[in-house]
């Protein structure tokens, strides 16, 4: 995404039309309306980028509004995390932080207005009866209370509000069309009795408006011009319009639906994510394997990468599942330019350079980021004993293996070319150490040997390297679409058992990294310092591996 503008889409076409027809006298105004009952995920990021990005593109405004119309499932913990996540992504609602609960009085008055106009009535069907009386595709619904006198509805509604009735005794229904082929329009409930404590309004109310009633009213109150939501609300649009048609707000918001994001190798439904957390399949909402914003943040994703991703996937109306490769591409691209390189050995294999004098030490010069000379260079100690990656040595190596092999030569990044002279094994035949010789003529920066080797490997100096813990993350699920499991199979049974591998004793160059700092471990991937890291125990999370075209 460029600094100022996101890619166009069908919603912007609609706005362009509205602008051309001069329907938008006060400019474009959108809103991001999360329900505070869970953590935000990458799918919400798409919506956030769309809403805030659209406002920015048209020099309009975007509000943050919590849809807190159901007190039984909402918590302040979520409100705080949502605010933090939106802010972290880089969006600013300025002073326009709202709650649907701010409008409860107005919404209530709207309900009264509808009753007085004969457009809403008190129904006393219970939930089960309501289902039966709704009819079906072929049969129209009914309600014995549809023609209840206005005065009576008004009185009962007043009593409901006053707390005279138990939950479920009565509902307020919009009088629309019980025969509508769209079930949403079969006299939908717009108010229900719910004696529960509300985080914001506390015990002021015991009746709460339904989403379908509260949302259009909230939009109208805030002067929202384009109310962007996901596809499953398409059936609700006639009701959204009905509510506005039958009340008298000046503003006339318009609902537009787009397809929610799906990603391969992960799940996105709140219910499933909640299960992963509550049943301990992951550590928490911010587990680096989670597709939550907080999980991605802890994993080391940057807001820039996420926004770039959201811009690249586009906005349309067809259900689709984006390849997680694209997300990974976005973070690699971002970090390639920004992350300093260091050398880290995940599986150390000791190498003794037999012809290198004992006690001798040289300072090697390495660039911090070849993509950005401005990041400068650093010095690295080199001496007789080093560690290389165990996987960079192979006894019976295939031809295309460009790393170390018996009798073979390889370049140590930023240092010398070494030759493997002897392989030391333990009693079980495992390779435990290599004896190599180095060629003094091949020092980086002053190589006059004319020698060419095919491979360059990373290393750390045995004396100065520091041990760290590294979390290697893989996809949460091996299968592309874990939402779609065979009948009778629980999706948690398809979790990737190797989504987290902990390496306790990796070795890195001597550095003092800060929590959240990101690096490229040369030839391996991008890593971030986990928030749980301590001065005496550094923990890295692998953000994403480097691409690897080696076909071994």
Partner RNA sequence: UGGGGUGUGGCCAAGUGGUAAGGCACCGGUCUCUGGAACCGGGAUUCAUUGGUUCGAAUCCAAUCUCCCCAGCCA
Within residues 205-224, the interface with RNA by CB under 7 A covers: 208, 210-212
Q: Of 421, 416, 348, 361, which Cα lies nearest the Cα of 388?
A: 348
405 pairs with which residues across the strands?
none
CB of 128 to RNA, least distance (A): 8
Span interacting with RNA, options 156-164, 332-340, 375-383, 421-429, rule CB under 7 A = 332-340
503 pairs with which residues across the strands?
470
Binding mask 476-515 for RNA (x = CB under 7 A): ----------------------------------------
Question: Which of 49, 125, 174, 346 lies at the binding interface for RNA (CB under 7 A)?
Answer: 125
HEC secondary structure over 416-435: CEEEEEEEEECCCCCEEEEE
Q: Could you say whether residue 547 binds RNA (CB under 7 A)? A: yes
Q: Could you say whether residue 197 binds RNA (CB under 7 A)? A: no
Q: Tokens 């219910």, residue?
A: 271
Q: How far is it, in rounded angstroms, from Cα 76 to Cα 92?
A: 20
Q: Of 176, 201, 197, 199, which Cα lies nearest the Cα of 187?
A: 176
Q: Could you say whether residue 134 binds RNA (CB under 7 A)? A: yes
- 270 is annotated as an active-site residue: yes
Span interacting with RNA, options 105-113, 166-174, 195-203, 277-285, rule CB under 7 A = 166-174
CB atoms within 10 A of CB 93: 19
Q: Choose the catalytic residue: 35, 75, 124, 234.
A: 35
Q: Could you say whether residue 374 binds RNA (CB under 7 A)? A: no
Six token digits for residue 96: 């326009």
CB of 428 to RNA, least distance (A): 26
Q: Is 147 exposed, middle or buried (0-12, 13-18, 19+ CB in 10 A)?
A: exposed
Within residues 376-435, the interface with RNA by CB under 7 A covers: 400-403, 411, 413-415
- 204 is annotated as an active-site residue: no
Q: Is 381 exposed, middle or buried (0-12, 13-18, 19+ CB in 10 A)?
A: middle
Q: Could you say whether residue 316 binds RNA (CB under 7 A)? A: yes
425 pairs with which residues across the strands?
431
Q: Could you say whether residue 2 binds RNA (CB under 7 A)? A: no
- Is residue 436 helix, strand or coil? strand
Q: Could you say whether residue 73 binds RNA (CB under 7 A)? A: yes
* Alpha carbon separation from 426 to 350, 429, 432, 506 (Å, rounded): 13, 5, 6, 21
Q: Choose the catalytic residue: 134, 260, 312, 317.
A: 260
Binding mask 23-42 for RNA (x = CB under 7 A): ----------x-x-------
Within residues 440-469, the interface with RNA by CB under 7 A covers: 442-445, 447, 455-457
Eight-class DSSP state of 392: G
Contact 376, 403 (CB under 8 A): no
Q: How far is it, in rounded angstroms, from Cα 22 to Cα 17?
A: 8
CB of 328 to RNA, least distance (A): 7
Span interacting with RNA, options 53-61, 298-306, 374-382, 540-548, rule CB under 7 A = 540-548
Within residues 237-296, the interface with RNA by CB under 7 A covers: 259, 264
Question: Which of 184, 423, 431, 485 lies at the binding interface for RNA (CB under 7 A)?
Answer: 184
- Is residue 179 helix, strand or coil? coil
Binding mask 48-67 for RNA (x = CB under 7 A): -------------------x
Question: Which of 77, 109, 116, 127 lies at the binding interface for RNA (CB under 7 A)?
Answer: 127
- Comparing CB distances to RNA, the nearer of 162 and 546 is 546
Q: Could you say whether residue 104 binds RNA (CB under 7 A)? A: no
Q: How far is it, in rounded angstroms, from Cα 108 to Cα 95?
A: 25
Q: Where are the alpha helices (DSSP H) in 234-302?
A: 237-245, 270-278, 293-299
Q: Could you say whether residue 145 binds RNA (CB under 7 A)? A: no
- 371 is annotated as an active-site residue: no
Active site residues: 35, 260, 270
């Amino acid at each position: 995404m460029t600094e100022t503008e996101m890619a166009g889409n069908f919603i912007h076409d609609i706005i362009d039309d509205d602008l051309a027809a001069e329907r938008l006298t006060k400019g474009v105004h959108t809103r991001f309306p999360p329900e505070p009952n869970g953590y935000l995920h990458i799918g919400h990021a798409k919506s956030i980028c769309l809403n805030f990005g659209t406002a920015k593109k048209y020099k309009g405004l975007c509000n943050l509004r919590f849809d807190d119309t159901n007190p039984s499932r909402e918590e302040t913990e979520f409100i705080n995390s949502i605010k933090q996540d939106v802010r972290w992504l880089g969006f600013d609602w300025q002073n326009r932080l709202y709650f649907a609960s701010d409008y409860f009085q107005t919404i209530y008055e709207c309900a009264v207005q509808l009753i007085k106009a004969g457009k809403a009535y008190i129904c006393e069907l219970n939930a089960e009866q309501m289902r039966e009386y709704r009819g079906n595709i072929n049969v129209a619904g009914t309600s014995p209370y549809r023609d209840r006198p206005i005065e009576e509805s008004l009185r009962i509604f007043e009593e409901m509000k006053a707390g005279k009735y138990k939950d479920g005794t009565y509902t307020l229904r919009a009088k629309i069309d019980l025969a509508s082929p769209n079930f949403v329009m079969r006299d939908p409930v717009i108010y229900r009795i719910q004696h529960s404590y509300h985080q914001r309004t506390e015990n002021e109310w015991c009746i709460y408006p339904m989403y379908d009633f509260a949302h259009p009213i909230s939009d109208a109150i805030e002067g929202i011009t384009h109310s962007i939501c996901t596809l499953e609300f398409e059936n609700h649009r006639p009701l959204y319009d009905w509510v506005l048609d039958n009340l008298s707000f000046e503003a006339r918001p318009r609902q537009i639906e787009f397809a929610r994001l799906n990603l391969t190798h992960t799940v996105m439904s709140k219910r499933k994510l909640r299960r992963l957390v509550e049943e301990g399949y992951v550590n928490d909402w911010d587990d680096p394997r989670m597709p939550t914003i907080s999980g991605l943040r802890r994993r080391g994703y940057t807001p820039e990468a996420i926004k770039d991703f959201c811009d690249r996937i586009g906005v349309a109306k067809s259900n689709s599942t984006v390849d997680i490769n694209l997300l990974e591409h976005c973070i690699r691209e971002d970090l390639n330019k920004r992350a300093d390189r260091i050398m880290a050995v995940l599986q150390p294999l000791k190498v003794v350079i037999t012809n290198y004098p004992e006690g001798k030490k040289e300072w090697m010069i390495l660039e911090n980021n070849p993509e950005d000379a401005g990041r400068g260079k650093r010095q690295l100690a080199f001496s007789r004993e080093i560690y290389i990656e165990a996987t960079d040595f192979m006894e019976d190596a295939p031809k295309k293996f460009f790393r170390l092999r018996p009798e073979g030569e390889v370049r140590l990044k930023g240092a010398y070319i070494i030759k493997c002279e002897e392989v030391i094994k333990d009693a079980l035949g495992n390779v435990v150490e290599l004896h190599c010789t180095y060629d003094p003529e091949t020092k980086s920066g002053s190589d006059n040997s004319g020698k060419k080797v095919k491979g360059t490997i990373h290393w750390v100096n045995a004396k100065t390297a520091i041990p760290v813990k590294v979390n290697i993350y893989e996809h949460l699920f091996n299968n592309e679409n874990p939402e779609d499991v065979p009948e009778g199979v629980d999706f948690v049974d398809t979790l990737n058992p190797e989504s987290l591998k902990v390496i306790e004793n990796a070795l890195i160059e001597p550095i003092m990294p800060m929590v959240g700092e990101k690096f490229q471990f040369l030839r391996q991937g991008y890593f971030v310092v986990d928030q749980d890291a301590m001065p005496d125990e550094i923990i890295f999370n692998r953000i994403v591996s480097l691409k690897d075209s080696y076909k071994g």
